[in-house]
Structure 1
Amino acid sequence: MTRELPGTEIPTAAILLPTDEMCAAVDGFLAASPAARAWDVETAFDWDRAAADRLTEGQRSAVQFVTYIEDHLPGYFDVYQRYFPVDGRVDQDTFVHNRELYHFTVRWALEEDTHARALARYQQAAGMAERSTLRDELAVEGRKPFDLPYRHPVQFFAYALVQEKATQLYYQSLREVSGDPVLAAVLSRLARDEARHFSFMADVVGRYLRTQGDAVVEPIREVVAGFRMPLADTMRGYWRWALRIADVADYDHTAAYAHLVRIIDRAVDTRTEPLDELVRFLDRCRALT
């Protein structure tokens, strides 16, 4: 059974990041990510050398798991389309902001889709799965809805900040234990991309903190308090599988919270009491894991 998506509350210019600030963040990301540095699935790796028999059963399971997560890209992209639309549902000021953000989201979506294709290609090349079978298996989860029903725009970026950093750290950890050099090369590429995506989200969250101050503290706290990685609420057996892959390579999404604290400290000259409480809350979350 699939759940219905709640009504979409489109953020308006009144609470969005000033457009010039969003434009600067997008320009910075694109300048650090020129097309000339892009990689493609077809030529970046020596697929003929991929061999799943070099992996442990746990490592193969981890590859299968992250393929599902990356392949849900249409759902993730749809969130930005619904909450930051570039059409007549919004006034002109909001449209201008969203159009600037769209320059990032389409590049981000292309890179994330490349991740999904690379992981699927690895499974096929390494002998883990037949293409048609894998395609049908991914469709089972891919058809399920994905949503981030937040009330403040900063929350979408705070969520992605934690998710992208946690994913980067896991890929790096899985790469270190991988028995197949081809898989290690794939994971290196993915981790570098996730690091750049994290940097963009961190830049945007920092700009929200500088321009809106304490007004965004509680929205960010709400993200941390209810954080779940993508598909946690829809994939059957998610938590059992997630615990298994955490045994294969170090994984703990709360490791990303230390990076959020550094973003806070870079964004403000002096912490206010609400910011101090947010940092204490982040520290408590990390201590519980």
Structure 2
Amino acid sequence: MSNAPRTTSTDVMEELTPAVEKLLNRHLDRVEDWDPAVYVPLSEGRDFWEHPYEPGDSSLSAELQAALLVNIATEDDLPGYRTELSRKLSEEGPWGEWLRRWTAEEGRHAIGLRAFSWATRAVDPTALESHRMQTIQAGYREQPKSGLDTLVYVTLQELATRVSHFNLGMAAQPQDAMAMVLLKRIAADENHHYLFYRSLVQHSLEIAPSETVQSIAREVMNFGMPGQDTVPGFRRAAVTIARAGIYNQQVHYQQILRPTLREWGVFHREGLDPEAERARDELASFLEGLKRRASVEAERIEARKAAIAGTRGR
């Protein structure tokens, strides 16, 4: 299957517009507005001018600090994501209303995480600001995608972000309970975003099943988190995050791909054209390979943990 995206039929995107309006109204009925200040323990804050940050100030382990830095940096690059989405979708009508609402909600995440990090000294503030500057200056740019490709990608990306925030929060709970509360609150928003995009792709499968299945296969097989080309030290941090069990191949396969593809019914859909059938077969082979790689990675992570525990026990 070629990785090059087809241009999505304008008719398909236009036919999705009523679904966008319906899903936006559903989102507004279900989502809960919240104030980041409520989730930030401001009383813990100290003046960085008089009390410069020291590595021992953070209650989080080095692994969790690395994960938090990456999570905040990816939230910081909201202007880049918004620009790319507006190019592929529309600033007009229900599409534009959704993008503006989504932008406001995502901006709240970055505000909350940054304020929390300052108040609790969870991460080095100088490193945090350096990450922000370098990430935004690097500029997020999507690979060439069709409109349907973009809808599939953001579906997977929103769920991946939700899982990453949630898993980080659970890992942080023994060290900082308030971090867990804030990250779970953010993860709840990301879940609403995921459901919005997932439902749009479901509608697209009814309108243009073969075209949508090809987009799904393309995006699953070429998926990468948005920060991988912009966040400083992303690949090194990704290894640390994987070892911590926050986000790795096993998480990606079990918690992102399997449930989403099951919801879309990709492998049970009938009436596809030959090209879509071939794409689905390639997707099935890819998933089998990913499953094996995830198993090997999990074994290596467990072996490493056992070795470290053994060293500490001597």
TM-score under structure 2 normalisation? 0.75
Question: How many Å separate the matches in 2 of 1:238 and 1:62?
Answer: 10
Matched, 1:16 2:18: no
Question: How many Å separate the matches in 2 of 1:108 and 1:158?
Answer: 16
Please list, as runs of the form range in 1=range in 2, the aligned pairs for 1:1-289 lying within 5 A after superposition. 13-18=10-15, 19-33=17-31, 37-49=32-44, 53-86=58-91, 98-128=92-122, 134-178=128-172, 179-252=175-248, 253-254=252-253, 255-265=255-265, 270=270, 272=272, 274=277, 277=281, 280-281=284-285, 283-284=287-288, 286-287=290-291, 288-289=293-294
The Cα of 1:38 is off from its aligned counterpart by 0.6
Say which SS state the counterpart of residue 82 (structure 2) adopts. helix
Worse-superposed segment, 149-158 or 122-131: 122-131
Determine if contact 1:52/1:180 at 8 Å carries over to the other structure. no
Say which SS state the counterpart of residue 250 (structure 1) adopts. coil
Say which SS state the counterpart of residue 42 (structure 1) adopts. helix
Question: How many Å separate the matches in 2 of 1:259 and 1:81?
Answer: 28
> Structure 1 residues 177, 116: CA separation in 2 closer, same or farther (over 3 Å shift)?
same
Structure whose CA Rg is larger: 2
User: Hey, which of these two has a bigger chunk of helix by percent?
Assistant: 2
Q: Which runs of 5+ in 2 are unaligned?
A: 1-5, 46-55, 295-314
**1:165 partner amino acid:** L
Question: How many Å separate the matches in 2 of 1:283 and 1:134?
Answer: 36
Question: How many Å separate the matches in 1 of 2:180 and 2:19?
Answer: 37
> Structure 1 residues 282, 107: CA separation in 2 closer, same or farther (over 3 Å shift)?
farther
**2:12 partner amino acid:** I
The Cα of 1:84 is off from its aligned counterpart by 2.6
Question: How many Å separate the matches in 1 of 2:247 and 2:19?
Answer: 33
Worse-superposed segment, 52-61 or 153-162: 52-61
Q: Which runs of 5+ in 1 are unaligned?
A: 1-8, 87-97
> Structure 1 residues 185, 47: CA separation in 2 closer, same or farther (over 3 Å shift)?
farther
> Structure 1 residues 105, 243: CA separation in 2 closer, same or farther (over 3 Å shift)?
same
Question: How many Å separate the matches in 1 of 2:282 and 2:44?
Answer: 48
Question: How many Å separate the matches in 2 of 1:132 and 1:55?
Answer: 17
> Structure 1 residues 154, 269: CA separation in 2 closer, same or farther (over 3 Å shift)?
same
How many residues align structurally? 267
Worse-superposed segment, 272-281 or 115-124: 272-281
**2:265 partner amino acid:** D
Deviations 1:193-215 (A, max 9, x none): 11111101110110110111112
The Cα of 1:258 is off from its aligned counterpart by 0.8
> Structure 1 residues 278, 113: CA separation in 2 closer, same or farther (over 3 Å shift)?
farther
The Cα of 1:111 is off from its aligned counterpart by 1.3
Question: How many Å separate the matches in 1 of 2:129 and 2:236?
Answer: 23
**1:15 partner amino acid:** V
Question: How many Å separate the matches in 1 of 2:59 and 2:138?
Answer: 33
> Structure 1 residues 131, 174: CA separation in 2 closer, same or farther (over 3 Å shift)?
closer
TM-score under structure 1 normalisation? 0.81
Determine if contact 2:57/2:121 at 8 Å carries over to the other structure. yes
> Structure 1 residues 131, 10: CA separation in 2 closer, same or farther (over 3 Å shift)?
farther
Say which SS state the counterpart of residue 231 (structure 1) adopts. helix
Identity of aligned residues (%): 20
**RMSD, aligned α-carbons:** 2.8
Deviations 1:236-287 (A, max 9, x none): 4221111112222331333311122122229976475728536624632541
Say which SS state the counterpart of residue 228 (structure 2) adopts. coil
The Cα of 1:128 is off from its aligned counterpart by 4.2
> Structure 1 residues 129, 257: CA separation in 2 closer, same or farther (over 3 Å shift)?
closer
**1:258 partner amino acid:** R
